[in-house]
Amino acid sequence: MFIKTVAILGGAFDPVHQDHLRLALQCLKLEYCDEVWFVPSPDRWDKNLIASPEDRFNMLRLAIQDTPKLVVSDVEINMPDYRGSYMLLQHLQESHPQYRFRLVVGADSYKDIPHWRDPLHFYGTEYNGHLLLKDFELIVFSRKSYPKPDLKKHKAMGYAPLFWVGETQGFVGSLASTQIRKDFLHSREKPKGLPTEVYKYILEHHLYEH
């Protein structure tokens, strides 16, 4: 018996913005989970991250402040190697067997999950996305121009349950960290959707200035 359901919201958060926070709060409101853990990724060879893992972690902590049921975790930053979502979830489940973990992903990422693999063997055939789909439940949120997953097909494939967060459920995302960085670089003014405390941190630590 699980005593708590935790939604894992991973990503670069370079920087975190209001859509990330709204999504997490909506997952709680819909009772898809009891807590949301924000898990910033470490530096990765497959992504051009600007801010350091430490800065991205600190910005997340400032963004959530003391918001109940929102947690920032450095678990992936502190892992010896970046191993991807399936290995992270396995690690968390082994570390917290009393919790049920659900992975939060965008509709744009959902269709590619069967092709996910262990980053340490990226050019091999160690696909583990299908294992993730079977072993862990998903919370999938809407992304512009991407369809809602076919829930019947998902279930027919023998995958673990999927929970949808879209316009009907009260979430429409429109922000992107890339655009926020561009807006900041252009004017140094606080971009739309950037939490005030995060904006102050960016200024104080001279992030995203070139």
Question: How do residues 168-199 score in pLDDT, each as one tens digit?
Answer: 999 999 999 999 999 999 999 999 999 999 99
Q: What is the pLDDT of residue 45?
A: 73
Predicted confidence band at 124 (pLDDT cuts at 50, 70, 90)?
A: low
Lowest mean per-residue pLDDT among 51-60, 111-120, 193-202: 111-120
Domain boundaries, the chain: 4-173
Q: What is the pLDDT of residue 210?
A: 82
> 91-99: long-range contacts at Cβ-Cβ below 8 A with a sequence spacing of 24 or more?
92/6, 92/8, 96/6, 98/2, 98/3, 98/4, 99/2, 99/3, 99/4, 99/5, 99/6
Strand order in the sheet with 4-11: 70-72, 35-40, 4-11, 99-106, 137-141, 162-165
Residue 78 pLDDT > 70, yes or no? yes
Q: What is the pLDDT of residue 182?
A: 96
Among residues 4, 3, 10, which one has the least CA distance to residue 109? 10
Alpha-carbon distance 120 to 101, whole Å?
A: 23
Query: What homologous superfamily does CATH list for 4-173?
Result: HUPs (3.40.50.620)
Mean pLDDT value across residues 71-79 = 97
Alpha-carbon distance 53 to 160, whole Å?
A: 31
Q: What is the pLDDT of residue 47?
A: 78
Percentage of the chain beyond pLDDT 70 is: 99
Q: What is the pLDDT of residue 120?
A: 81
Alpha-carbon distance 160 to 140, whole Å?
A: 13
Predicted confidence band at 122 (pLDDT cuts at 50, 70, 90)?
A: low
Question: How do residues 23-50 score in pLDDT, each as one tens digit?
Answer: 999 999 999 999 999 999 999 877 789 9
62-91 CB burial, b ≥16 within 10 A, e <16: bbbeeeebbbbbeebbeeeebbbbbbbbbe
Among residues 165, 190, 167, 146, which one has the least CA distance to residue 25? 165
Predicted model pTM: 0.96
